Chains A and B, each alone.
Chain A
């Protein structure tokens, strides 16, 4: 059963978030007043909704909630800011700014996200304005890093395809800029910009005053690497190269998305479906029209059914194509053939076609922090002080020191050595292919631990893998503290999604290249059960796998789980 769905045509009254957007005067709300008020370190729920559009939201240290309540203290409110960087690229100067802000205002660490953005956590209310201003001075911004708008545009960092990367990167930035909110609210509130004289109609030519029904994600993959998980994007673009390895255009994939709600089968992860091909000059127009279709048809009543995937699944792909062609005034071309190998990162040094070198560092769960035996943050800071190329955050929360000239390579290498910065080659293949979202203590949605727990679980799984002789086998594993799926767990060969403290749903069988969803294998299991469930399957895999067969494919072939090629089959 695929490609048909019976729910939501006329879902009901707008959700409360729609009211907030409506009353916000293009994302202003009462943010300015809230940030001056010193009687609380927090802001109101309404303002917090709007804050997301400004690339930040209020969190609190959930470890301390109960304790502080007893102490007659409000929750330890703090702000997360997400710095937008199309394609995950920042300059060394920008890196130094981020490093400084992390220490001056945030909790002393930097978090690389699964969508190539950079997060700072633990910023206090009265340091927010200063933080955003100092970012602005380094040409960094947070606008639309969260909220019901187009988010950070992802792009393969593609160090070894440096020539085509440059070309595609240009399109990524163009898309990002084109789909940025145009409201002056961000400048007024954070950068002391002049107050805009009211002329509302002109403020948001693409979005209008209610913006989108839900977040919207765009990612560009350059085959054979699918490290940005192109099929998890609302709008996925697959770069098609001609015989000279130059950019010919993009295949368009629509309606991918990870989020679901436990116990609600009307919500599900979905993989994008390819609907055609566009040339580069058509790209911006097509993207804009797709965004406006979601703007007009997306569910504004029930937020958990508001992502583009549900808009499409409720009406069918044919409807989407017709609507799109109508808005474009022309038809998309037939999709071009393509092939993906993997969705993970390739670590260590590679040489690009532009004769520069790129070093992919392994960053566990994207967390950059100094610890006693691993001064990662200091090491990167020192590298940034001498580096003349750029830094690239990968879709797997790793970091590439990119565009290192041959003459500079030795200098970078000596710093890597000095601080023992690692490409992770001595880690297990499982660890190198692992990903976890932030979850506790700061994420308000977390039901179970993720970033803080995955490393210790991996150590235990490694023992089983080692026994089975699979330590060098690339297997993707992703953990997420809740079913919203920031670490894209539904596209991992082993997926773990939090249910409650210490309890996870175990999913198996996604494609190694991120082209097939996984499927629920065991529900609500604890660590002991996870290990017990995996042991016999690993042993089986070690003995019975075909040559070159990935773990995800193996469990499907051996019928541990059914293949899920469409999200509509996820719960079947």
Chain B
């Protein structure tokens, strides 16, 4: 790191001093310092605001709209951040989620930025479905006056990576709109590419409006003030207070209750938010990969500019993803083997064949199943993606315990292709994390999973298994602030005696009235399966009454089965109890969604 007088606001003397100290700083020290300075700045000086007003008066004002489609809140958080920066940069900005935006306004827009994620098998997020449908409908207008750019988020381990973003990008072009800058697709580690996309958009817009680069610099430095000291890119190392298995003896499951210290982090959170944890791979897997490639564990490799050089085995253990295969990864690996079988698999006409191979396999399988690898350590580190953080719903209330945060983590392990497979983060926590250790974490805001603003509105919470986590935060929060809101929890798991997560907490809140009603379903205590939706059904009349009273309904947990079954049951209840047609019941639910009275946090 060398600072130069030319591109910095410092004097020669200051540059000398800084250049003496900066190269000696470790990565952690650099991060700390940047956080310190940002924090220091945000406490003082409102001077830039004055500067900003002067600047805005000088330029041509572009009016732009930022639309986001967001499931877990990443896109929303990004979009809001960008919108804020653009406003500060002197642009007139409207920001909305896609379902809040009236599509017939589209043809009136001149500038549109889209930030959207892709769910599962190429599906748009819940709040983008309507807008997506509109664009592909006959009503979609010609948009020749529209300038736009798309930022798409996705997960490259899925086949249809960033598919929704690609669709929006292509469709808008088809409708005649012009790209401001090309679309950027981001993988799980989206921060850097997203920021680059933003910078490019920002510069293009500035050029168009005729503002100069100095202004931009002032703006950027000011923008940094809004950031917290600890964040996704600068995680807080939280000490583990408690790490308890919530499942009693004899259970088929292991669900960890993790209590982390937030002391000194200045991190805050609301009911509904999540915590991201940066996990570590199992070292023996990293060692196995190295052994299979006949490389050396202690070879130094550069992970990236921030991390610098570490040993190969550390890089594989701490920094890159080695437990998931994807089509794009396999394609990148093509040049590194002469194994015909491998290129046949990757380049096969039959996409299903590759998909089937990828499913449930990891790097150890790949390097065992195919031979003649010619990769170097650096090659491998370059093609692998950064080890992504895992998100877990927060299970405690900030109001009740501001200096700690609780998480509920289900241990994932199963056998596939003849080997025991472990969930990276959950097994690390279940087996290798003890009180006193620290974990790198950050708070992930989830604006789509929030308690009602109306203090009176009842809430119905459906959270089987670890899906119950955010509801513990909800009820603990309501209990702490002394809310009189009516609350109803539906919980389920396998066995009553061993798997009733947080049983004594719920019993306490039932007793003091913070929890009004509790219904539980245990699927394996009797011959017939018993699930949460069966209990919703059993209490159909009351559920409908609560909805009619304005209840908000929340679903958290398994998406594929539970959330869909619950959804169907709700439709059925609304149809039967409200004496509505099937279509009207659907409209009723859509109405709930639009009013944010039907919120899901499913995975």
Contacts and interface: CB of A to CB of B under 8 A. Distances in A.
A126 interface: yes
A143 interface: no
Interface in A145-186: none
Interface stretch (B81-89, B285-293, B320-328, B499-507): B499-507
B518 interface: yes
Contacts of A41: 496-497
Interface in B499-531: 500-507, 510, 518-520, 525
Contact of B525 (A67, A71, A72, A126): A126
B520 A71 contact: no
Interface string A57-92: 000000010011111111010000000000000000
Nearest to B511: A39
Given A39-B518, A40-B507, A124-B496, A76 B248 contact: yes
Nearest to B500: A73
Contacts of B249: 64, 67
B113 interface: no
Contacts of B500: 73-74
A543 interface: no
A40 B507 CA distance: 8
B302 to A, nearest CB: 45
Contacts of A195: none
B244 interface: yes
Nearest to A63: B249
A71 B518 contact: no
A40 B518 CA distance: 11
Interface string A33-47: 000001111000000
Interface in A333-384: none
B428 interface: no
Contact of A76 (B247, B497, B501): B497
B257 interface: yes
Contacts of B507: 39-40, 74
A70 B500 CA distance: 13
Contacts of A70: 244
Contacts of A126: 525
A401 to B, nearest CB: 34
26 contacts: A38-B519, A39-B506, A39-B507, A39-B518, A40-B507, A68-B248, A69-B504, A70-B244, A71-B244, A71-B245, A71-B246, A71-B247, A71-B248, A72-B246, A72-B257, A72-B502, A72-B504, A72-B505, A73-B248, A73-B498, A73-B500, A73-B503, A74-B503, A76-B248, A124-B497, A126-B525
A260 to B, nearest CB: 35
Interface residues of B, number: 23
Of A40, A68, A70, A71, most B-chain CB atoms within 10 Å: A71
Nearest to A130: B526
Contacts of B257: 71-72
Nearest to B508: A72
B251 to A, nearest CB: 10
Contacts of B247: 71
Q: Which 8 A-B pairs have the closest CB atoms?
A: A72-B504, A72-B502, A73-B503, A39-B518, A73-B248, A38-B520, A71-B246, A74-B503
A74 B496 CA distance: 11
B520 A73 contact: no
Interface string A90-127: 00000000000000000000000000000000001010
A71 B501 CA distance: 8
Interface in B448-503: 496-498, 500-503
A324 B381 CA distance: 96
A41 B500 CA distance: 11
A73 B504 contact: yes
A72 B503 contact: yes
A73 B518 contact: no
Nearest to A125: B496
A126 to B, nearest CB: 7
Nearest to A38: B520
Interface residues of A, number: 16
Contacts of B525: 124, 126
B407 to A, nearest CB: 14
Nearest to A76: B497
A41 B495 CA distance: 12
Contacts of A69: 504
A71 B253 CA distance: 13
Given A41-B496, A124-B496, A73 B246 contact: yes
Given A67-B249, A72-B246, A73-B504, 14 more contacts: A38-B520, A39-B506, A39-B507, A39-B510, A39-B518, A64-B248, A71-B244, A71-B247, A72-B244, A72-B501, A72-B502, A73-B500, A124-B497, A124-B525
Contacts of B502: 72
Interface in A198-227: none
A39 B518 CA distance: 7
A40 B503 CA distance: 8
A71 B497 CA distance: 12
A79 to B, nearest CB: 12
Contacts of B520: 38-39
Contacts of B248: 64, 67-68, 71, 73, 76
Contacts of B246: 71-73
A231 B288 CA distance: 74
A74 B247 CA distance: 12
B473 to A, nearest CB: 15
A73 B519 CA distance: 16
Contacts of A76: 248, 497
Contacts of B496: 38, 41, 124
Interface string B242-266: 0011111100000001000000000
A69 B508 CA distance: 13
B226 to A, nearest CB: 38
Interface string A13-46: 0000000000000000000000000111100000
Nearest to A40: B507
Contacts of B519: 38
Of B497, B503, B510, most A-chain CB atoms within 10 Å: B497
Contacts of A40: 507
Contacts of B510: 39
A228 B381 CA distance: 80
A39 B505 CA distance: 11
A114 B352 CA distance: 68
Of A38, A64, A70, A76, most B-chain CB atoms within 10 Å: A38
Of B498, B503, B520, most A-chain CB atoms within 10 Å: B503
A67 B251 CA distance: 14
A533 B496 CA distance: 48
A70 B504 CA distance: 10
A70 B505 CA distance: 11
Nearest to A78: B497
A565 B248 CA distance: 50
A39 B497 CA distance: 11
B240 to A, nearest CB: 15
A397 to B, nearest CB: 28
A38 B520 CA distance: 7
Contacts of A67: 248-249
A153 B373 CA distance: 82
Nearest to A69: B504
Contacts of B503: 72-74
A64 B497 CA distance: 12
Of B502, B504, B520, most A-chain CB atoms within 10 Å: B504
A218 B503 CA distance: 43
Contacts of A71: 244-248, 257
Contacts of A124: 496-497, 525
A103 B496 CA distance: 18
Contacts of A74: 500, 503-504, 507
B490 to A, nearest CB: 12
A41 B257 CA distance: 22
A39 B488 CA distance: 13
Nearest to A70: B244
A464 B497 CA distance: 44
A74 B499 CA distance: 11
